[in-house]
């Protein structure tokens, strides 16, 4: 039975990595890293999480449900012995952590990119972005360039506008490809971290964090170590929250090392 999750394989053969993007993102945001991994012999499957990109929408937001959907998709495509290296950024990182905790036999190793198993107050910074997107009158919109100009009055950062505009599609009229209503109304739930219970994931885990990011702090390390006893932190110099965009080579190198750890 289909899960409604859109995936795309980069490289040939049985995938070794699966990557889950962050809030408002899509798998294609990780295409550069995925191609670098594929070039080194690691085919990679990119996920559009539910309510994002080409994946189906849901009526509610729930991290455990997302983790279970990802696990179901992995089993559907690769079987119960998938043993993927699961990587997630931000929102996708929380989903990846829960997937490893709830479905550990599917996960050979875990990469958590700039997020912690804790409440992420920084998600509140997405509220102005949601407001800007909702303020755009799609019925009178003439072009993506015009959308960029209109959004620039509220969203001055070019990279942030680019993230938003990648979700704007024109098919029988302009529309947001992501589930803006649900995601915008669920920012508090998205910032949260559900109690996973008395469980842990014993496999190799890299906690890849940006030096300039505020999402991961020293006080989060003990929690990471409790849930993921084999965790190692990799701090990427000069990188912010969007580590894979700021330092793709460093992220790729860390993931290749994670693949090596998963084979020992």
149 CB-side CA count, 13 A: 6
- Residues 259 and 111: their CA atoms lie apart, in Å, by 10
pLDDT at site 2 = 60
Residue ranges per domain, the chain? 6-120+196-262, 123-185
pLDDT at site 213 = 95
pLDDT at site 71 = 96
pLDDT at site 149 = 95
| DSSP secondary structure string for all residues of 60-115 | S--HHHHHHHHHHHHHHHH-TT--EEEEEETHHHHHHHHHHHH-GGGEEEEEEES-
Tokens (6 digits) for 107 = 């996960």
* DSSP three-state, residue 254: helix
pLDDT at site 49 = 98
- Residues 102 and 71: their CA atoms lie apart, in Å, by 9
pLDDT at site 81 = 72
Residue showing tokens 């084999």: 230
- Looking at domain 6-120+196-262, its CATH superfamily turns out to be Alpha/Beta hydrolase fold, catalytic domain (3.40.50.1820)
- Residues 232 and 262: their CA atoms lie apart, in Å, by 13
Tokens (6 digits) for 154 = 């509220």
What are the residue ranges in the chain where pLDDT is below 70? 1-2
46 CB-side CA count, 13 A: 22
Question: Within the chain, where are the H helices?
Answer: 31-39, 63-78, 91-102, 127-135, 144-151, 158-165, 180-185, 187-191, 221-227, 243-246, 248-262
Residue showing tokens 């989903």: 95
pTM of the model: 0.96
Phi then psi for 121, rounded to 5 degrees?
A: -60, -25
* DSSP three-state, residue 168: strand
């Amino acid at each position: 039975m289909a899960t409604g999750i859109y995936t795309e394989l980069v490289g040939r053969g049985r995938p070794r990595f699966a990557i889950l993007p962050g809030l408002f993102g899509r798998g294609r945001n990780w295409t550069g890293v995925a191609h670098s991994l594929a070039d080194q012999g690691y085919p990679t499957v990119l996920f559009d999480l539910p309510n994002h990109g080409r994946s189906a929408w849901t009526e509610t937001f729930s991290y455990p449900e997302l983790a279970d959907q990802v696990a179901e998709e992995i089993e559907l495509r690769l079987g119960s012995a998938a043993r993927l290296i699961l990587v997630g950024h931000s929102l996708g990182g929380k989903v990846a952590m829960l997937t490893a905790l709830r479905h550990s036999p599917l996960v050979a190793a875990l990469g958590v990119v700039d997020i912690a198993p804790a409440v992420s107050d920084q998600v509140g910074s997405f509220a102005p972005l949601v407001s800007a997107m909702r303020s755009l009158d799609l019925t009178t919109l003439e072009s993506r360039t015009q959308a960029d100009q209109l959004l620039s009055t509220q969203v001055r950062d070019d990279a942030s506008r680019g993230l938003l505009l990648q979700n704007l599609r024109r098919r029988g009229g302009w529309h947001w490809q992501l589930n803006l209503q649900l995601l915008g109304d669920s920012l508090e739930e998205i910032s949260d971290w559900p109690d996973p219970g008395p469980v842990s994931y014993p496999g190799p885990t890299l906690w890849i964090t940006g030096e300039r990011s505020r999402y991961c702090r020293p006080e989060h390390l003990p929690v990471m170590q409790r849930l993921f006893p084999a965790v190692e932190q990799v701090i990427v110099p000069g990188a912010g929250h969007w580590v894979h965009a700021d330092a793709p080579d460093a992220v790729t190198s860390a993931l290749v090392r994670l693949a090596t750890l998963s084979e020992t």
